[in-house]
A and B are shown apart, each in its own frame.
Chain A
Amino acid sequence: MRIELRVNGDMYRREVEPDLTLLSFLRDVLGLTGTKWGCLTGDCGACTVLLDGEPVVACLQLACQVQDREVTTIEGLGTEEGLDEVQAAFVSNGAAQCGFCTPGMIMSVEALLGSNPSPSEAQVRESLSGNLCRCTGYNKIVDAVLQAAQDRQMANDGS
């Protein structure tokens, strides 16, 4: 099947097998390996990407159903010069240990902050409840998100 979609701002046209998942498309066809291959059952959230700004698990999304839509992956965040506020806050708070859950976590956070720029701690925890982390115990991740929200608001107020 022929698909046409935008990933991190770039248009791609590719011929794909009908049962190819968006996860395999991103990793194996486009070589974007930031999106992680975890459980493949929608439980761990390591494969979270944004589809038109909404978080989805790429392992349960058929690539052919992403026709004409916009995908954002971890590679689409930040700039050549530096990390975006969420990425930076994860680093400064020690919110990434082995790092396997981190891209998915950060994409969920981007979705949250996109619709709710100043979330409460409870809202942060709820929006991350589909992202499993085996290392951090979550508290540092929550701290990072709350700080990122503040940093981003300050950056937006300043500009």
Chain B
Amino acid sequence: MVDVYVPETLEEAVSFLGLHAGAAIPIAGGTDALIDIRTGRSMPEWLVDLSSVPRLGDVELDGEVLRLGALVRIRAVELDPELGRRATAIVEAARVLGSVQVRTMATVGGNLCHATPSAEMPPSLLVHDAVAEIAGVGGRRSIPLAELFAGPGRTTLGPDELLTSLLARAPASSAGSCYLRQTVRWSMDLAGVGVSASVEVDGTVVTDARVALAAVAPVPLLVEAASEAIVGTNLPPEAAREAGRRAAAACSPISDARGTAGYRREVVSVLVPRALRIAWLRATGAWTQGVPAPVNGMSTGEDL
């Protein structure tokens, strides 16, 4: 039977994890952790309940920098109007994760640290340049979010380490972002393909961009070659399509119940231009459909 330890401070949490390395796992919302235990995928002796550790649930906006505590609930992200404007992709990803009940319980940090290749939050955080802040027995460190993921279900965190927060860029103007996904069902489904894009503009010219993918590789991917295809342009359709082709070339999908590898690659080449287009329309202020946008990539009009 599994026992529960409730640390009051971050220091207590990491030293307990260090002391019980391999036998203790942190629990936040519990929506992945308890299923893993029930199905035998994980068999910890200890659950370290992080809910009493101070400040892990804070959301702060300081200038362009958004700090999301690891224990911020997905539902809180979904319903934050300021984040909807400034970190649209992150809110769109939050909005399609699980169900209302699951979003009410699940946390941003839990979604990242469970390291499911199809997880909703990573691509959007990646296109917002997220940095992961990590605490361990030896102190604190920060890494680009992409370096947190080691493989399906695996992170680069040490046994005594915890993700404490994410620092993301959330510019107030001349920037836009978007998250689209392909699913079989509208809700309670995992992404067959997840695509996020962010664009910064000077007038209508793209000055910077990011493209990130989920569910098409062992880890979430930031595809620099794709964004490079559109920097310096007004995002003509051919440049957007080229970004899509490059993204499709960069991924290494598997075939499973949610689609074949070839289908997934094809979907990437369609959704990347579409996500870039929506991000660009938002950045230039031409997006008139309000926020959030259509949530299911396959349902957005081809004519964008």
Show the binding face of A for B, using Cβ within 8 Å: 1, 17-19, 21, 40-43, 45, 48, 51, 54-57, 60-62, 64-65, 108, 111, 126-127, 129-131
Instruction: Name the segment of B101-109, B119-127, B139-147, B275-283 touching the other chain.
Output: B101-109
Task: List 12 additional contacts besides A62-B30, A65-B51, A108-B101; criterion CB under 8 Å.
Answer: A18-B2, A18-B4, A18-B47, A19-B37, A40-B38, A48-B101, A54-B75, A56-B101, A60-B31, A61-B30, A130-B98, A130-B101
A58 to chain B, nearest CB (A): 9
Show the binding face of B for A, using Cβ within 8 Å: 1-4, 27, 29-31, 34-35, 37-38, 47, 49, 51, 75, 98-102, 104-105, 186-188
A24 to chain B, nearest CB (A): 12
Give A127 to B188 CA distance when docked, in angstroms: 12
Indicate whether A129 sits within 8 Å of B99 (C-beta atoms), given known contacts A19-B1, A62-B4, A65-B49: yes
* Contacting residues, chain B, for A51 (C-beta < 8 A): 104
Give A126 to B295 CA distance when docked, in angstroms: 12
Q: Which of A62, A64, A126 has the most CB of B within 10 A?
A: A62
The answer to whether A129 and B3 have CB atoms under 8 Å apart is no
A-B contact pairs, 26 of them (CB 8 A): A19-B1, A40-B38, A41-B38, A42-B35, A42-B99, A54-B75, A55-B100, A55-B104, A56-B101, A56-B104, A57-B31, A57-B101, A57-B102, A57-B105, A60-B34, A61-B30, A65-B30, A65-B49, A65-B51, A108-B101, A126-B100, A129-B100, A130-B99, A130-B101, A130-B187, A131-B99
The answer to whether A126 and B187 have CB atoms under 8 Å apart is yes
* Contacting residues, chain B, for A19 (C-beta < 8 A): 1-4, 37, 47
* Contacting residues, chain B, for A108 (C-beta < 8 A): 100-101
Give the number of A-B contacts (CB < 8 Å): 79
Q: Which of B34, B100, B105 has the most CB of A within 10 A?
A: B100
Give 8 closest A-B pairs by Cβ, nearest first: A130-B99, A129-B187, A18-B4, A57-B101, A54-B104, A55-B101, A130-B101, A19-B2
Give A119 to B188 CA distance when docked, in angstroms: 21
Give A45 to B31 CA distance when docked, in angstroms: 13
* Contacting residues, chain A, for B34 (C-beta < 8 A): 21, 60, 62
